Structure 1
């Protein structure tokens, strides 16, 4: 009778491991300069959150062709739909509070890493330097 218990435990472990979530893959990484134009929306209002500035930077780069020296392209945020997901991606990702303050002040360089699975972005991690 005892061999049944180890077999059941092995089957349970196999079932649990096959349903375990996979770690996200690094889908893409880009570098951008946050300039004065990235700190304001299209109507001229000052942006108040890091995700808004990051989204505006990518809209300026892809949609409006307003690029700062140091801006690099990316494929992921070329899509307006993906730019629209920026807030949730930042919330699920990470940005250090000091880095967020530097980003909001402008004149900073950001490194944005886009994480997800199967080409679908889930979160971003943001590093900032001045």
Structure 2
């Protein structure tokens, strides 16, 4: 009986709080013509695809436009592969997403997570 009471009391306790996401990196980049097409020459249609290609161009292919900044986080191919998830769980205004896919804009990307694990990005378009 005492064991059941103890288990019931433990079950009623709140779970340990999760670590809060914090800003672990950020960068600014100009989305140019090269960022709008994948390595096979196909036109990209989703904001996360363009952002991923921009970072692949910068880190893997050495293609950068004036205004592109370096970032440590997306130097990793694995982290670039998670861009879709991170955009879906972050924020980007609908108008910003449309402008990004058209290209010719500056973006600011803030990367949130814990340690070297990214959970989401917040993307803004503008000067």
TM-score (norm 2): 0.88
- Spell out, residue by residue over 1:45-96, the C-alpha distance to the aligned partner (whole angstroms, 9 max, x if none): 1001000000000000000000000000000000000000000010111100
Alignment partners' CA distance in 1, 2:76 and 2:19: 25
Matched, 1:27 2:7: no
Matched, 1:110 2:107: yes
Alignment partners' CA distance in 2, 1:43 and 1:20: 44
SS in 2 for 1:53: helix
| Higher mean C-alpha displacement, 18-27 vs 105-114 | 18-27
Alignment counterpart, residue 58 of structure 1, candidates 52, 55, 60: 55
Alignment partners' CA distance in 2, 1:95 and 1:65: 26
Alignment partners' CA distance in 2, 1:78 and 1:12: 43
- Which runs of structure 1 show a deviation greater than 6 angstroms over 4 or more consecutive aligned residues? none
Matched, 1:119 2:94: no
Alignment partners' CA distance in 2, 1:35 and 1:118: 31
Alignment partners' CA distance in 1, 2:11 and 2:42: 56
Alignment partners' CA distance in 2, 1:72 and 1:118: 21
Alignment counterpart, residue 38 of structure 1, candidates 31, 35, 39: 35
Structure 2, gaps ≥5 residues long: 1-8
RMSD: 1.7
Q: How many residues align?
A: 119
Alignment partners' CA distance in 2, 1:58 and 1:84: 10
TM-score (norm 1): 0.86
Structure 1, gaps ≥5 residues long: 1-8
